[in-house]
Structure 1
Amino acid sequence: MLRKLIIYDLKASAKIFFLFHLVFLIACGLGRFCFMDRIDFVHSSPETLLAPVTIIICLAIILVVAVNLFSWLMTAFRFYRNLFGKEGYLSWTLPVSGIRHLWAKIISGCVLMWIDTIVIWLGIFFLVSGRNVTEAYAMISADVTEMLGLPLSMFSLYMFLFTALSCIISVIMTYFCIAVGQLFPSHRILCAIATYFILTFVLQIAVFLIMILSGYFNDYINSSGIFSKELSLILVPSFLFSFIIAIAEYMITHYILSKKINLI
């Protein structure tokens, strides 16, 4: 039954999800062939490159944020609608426990967010993989490797894996906030949104305080200046703390779905 629930969720989101990401890939292709491939990075002066590079970076950031936000909102919408919205009465009449409903949503949500992550990285890679870009990068690759502390390809792989793991935490946190929002008698969507922002703020403050009290912040200040090391000093404790919180959020969400369901 769990497998059927997962497949149902994925099919319900497939068409619009596929269409939105197809548009993203087409936009990356157009950006590559109509814009990036026309820039001469090797022989142009920095002043000449500033405007076009700034434009392409800004547009790429907007596209990435839009696609990722869309995928996140879609997973949140499916969780809310299927368990607490119009489909809620039908979903809870199925011979399925709350834990299976929750796991089906977590797995399907993570699958969508992982696909979203893969598509975004593929789009960015295609955008910057033209011959003119690779030739220009070859001229500065040694400096970039020295600054990062490891090759750019390895750094990108680490960031991709970190992003993929963060998807799990993001999905669980989103479902937790929606479940908490259902405990309020009215304005449940607004309460869920408020819970999300309050929780995000509290977690950021908590991570910062933990880094100071544990000495991690001093290690960051006194780091060697290698970007990958400095970044790891921030991301590792933040990820570990968020993972522990995600376990607690999962347990609370499980309890709410098992004991506190109210579709009124």
Structure 2
Amino acid sequence: MLSKLMKYELKATGRVFLPLYLALLVFALINRFMLGVSASHQWQTPAVISMAVYIFIMAGIFVMTLIMTIQRFYKNLLSEEGYLMFTLPVKSWQHIVCKMLISMFWLVFSFFVAMLSIILIAFKAGDWQHIMRELTQFFGTLWGYLGTSIYLYSLEAVIGIFLILASAILILYASIAVGHLFNQHRILASFAAFIGLNTLTQIISMAIGFAIGHGNVWNIPPGNFLTMHTELHLFIAFILLESALITAAYFAITNTILKKRLNLE
């Protein structure tokens, strides 16, 4: 059932994002053309307007991603639509996971579309070969320092990015859910809950950090930093574990409220 929920959510949100992506890429191509002819005085004003529209669409995509993350969760689960959604044979945690994964998908996809649009504007003939040559040299140097540990570092980076995105989305969900416990001023209560959860998270993270003393890792001499793979992996594992626990706490808060304290009045 989770896959069906995700399919529906993807279609519903895709109606908003796909036209924005298309508009961004179209204006990227227009700006690519404008850069070639903007030396002529008569094309300078259209070129400025076209670039302004491109930047506006670029910013709008990421703003819309944030808006859709909040709006889809609130409207589907905590407004009148919630009566219908919670009559489905789906558990509350599945609703949360569905919303979270689709929001993460659009965040990542928006990033790649934005990069593609920049490439369409800025890259010229021969640039790709130059970049590939530089990247090959860079990764060759990195392999010389890290060896096979580069695979583990890469995995840790992927997990870290996943946790960062999940945590950023789930703290929004948890704040909205907490705010919805109030009968009045729910938006204000959600905003206050977000500040409270974020502050509490920072305090707990700092307290754990000082208690464990992992800040000493940053005192490793630069010459020895890349040779202490075991220590670095342990440090990264600690950071990932801490992030996972915080993310799980946001998820638990949201799920508990939706499951036991849901108020659609």
TM-score of the superposed pair, with normalisation by structure 1: 0.67
Q: Is 2:111 the partner of 1:111?
A: no
Match of 1:132 among 117, 127, 130: 127
Match of 2:67 among 48, 70, 73: 73
Q: How does 1:202-221 map to 2 (within 5 A)?
A: 202-221=200-219
Give the root-mean-square deviation of aligned CA atoms. Answer: 4.4
Secondary structure at the aligned position of 1:263 is classed as coil
Cα deviation code 1:28-75 (max 9, x no counterpart): 556667669x9xxxxxxxxxxxxxxxxx9xxx9997765344223212
Match of 2:93 among 78, 91, 102: 102
Secondary structure at the aligned position of 1:183 is classed as coil
Alpha-carbon spacing, 1:78–1:102, altered in 2? closer, same or farther (3 Å): farther
Partner of 1:13: 13
Partner of 1:43: none
Select between 136-145 and 8-17 the one with higher mean Cα deviation: 136-145
Q: Percent identity?
A: 26
Separation (CA, whole Å) in 2 of partners of 1:239 and 1:263: 36
Alpha-carbon spacing, 1:35–1:209, altered in 2? closer, same or farther (3 Å): farther
Per the TM alignment, residue 147 of structure 1 is displaced from its structure 2 partner at its CA by 8.8
Separation (CA, whole Å) in 2 of partners of 1:17 and 1:65: 13
Q: Is the 8 A contact 1:110 1:167 kept in 2?
A: no
Alpha-carbon spacing, 1:118–1:172, altered in 2? closer, same or farther (3 Å): same
Secondary structure at the aligned position of 2:218 is classed as helix
Separation (CA, whole Å) in 1 of partners of 2:58 and 2:233: 23
Alpha-carbon spacing, 1:22–1:166, altered in 2? closer, same or farther (3 Å): farther
Q: How does 1:221-236 map to 2 (within 5 A)?
A: 221-224=219-222
Alpha-carbon spacing, 1:252–1:165, altered in 2? closer, same or farther (3 Å): closer
Q: How does 1:79-98 map to 2 (within 5 A)?
A: 79-92=73-86, 94-96=87-89
Q: Is the 8 A contact 2:177 2:258 kept in 1?
A: yes
Per the TM alignment, residue 117 of structure 1 is displaced from its structure 2 partner at its CA by 0.7
Select between 186-195 and 115-124 the one with higher mean Cα deviation: 115-124
Unaligned residue ranges in structure 1 (runs of 5+)? 39-55
Alpha-carbon spacing, 1:140–1:103, altered in 2? closer, same or farther (3 Å): closer
Per the TM alignment, residue 220 of structure 1 is displaced from its structure 2 partner at its CA by 1.2
Per the TM alignment, residue 81 of structure 1 is displaced from its structure 2 partner at its CA by 0.5
Q: Is the 8 A contact 2:217 2:235 kept in 1?
A: no
Indicate the structure (1 or 2) with the bigger Cα radius of gyration: 2
Separation (CA, whole Å) in 2 of partners of 1:16 and 1:76: 14
Q: Is 2:179 the partner of 1:181?
A: yes
Per the TM alignment, residue 95 of structure 1 is displaced from its structure 2 partner at its CA by 4.1
Alpha-carbon spacing, 1:35–1:111, altered in 2? closer, same or farther (3 Å): farther
Alpha-carbon spacing, 1:2–1:175, altered in 2? closer, same or farther (3 Å): same
Separation (CA, whole Å) in 2 of partners of 1:251 and 1:242: 14
Q: Is 2:115 the partner of 1:120?
A: no
Task: Read off the aligned partner of 1:180 and give its amino acid letter.
Answer: V
Q: Is 2:165 the partner of 1:164?
A: no
Q: Is the 8 A contact 2:62 2:110 kept in 1?
A: no
Q: Is the 8 A contact 2:73 2:99 kept in 1?
A: no
Secondary structure at the aligned position of 1:255 is classed as helix
Separation (CA, whole Å) in 2 of partners of 1:9 and 1:70: 15
Unaligned residue ranges in structure 2 (runs of 5+)? 39-50
Task: Read off the aligned partner of 1:6 and give its amino acid letter.
Answer: M
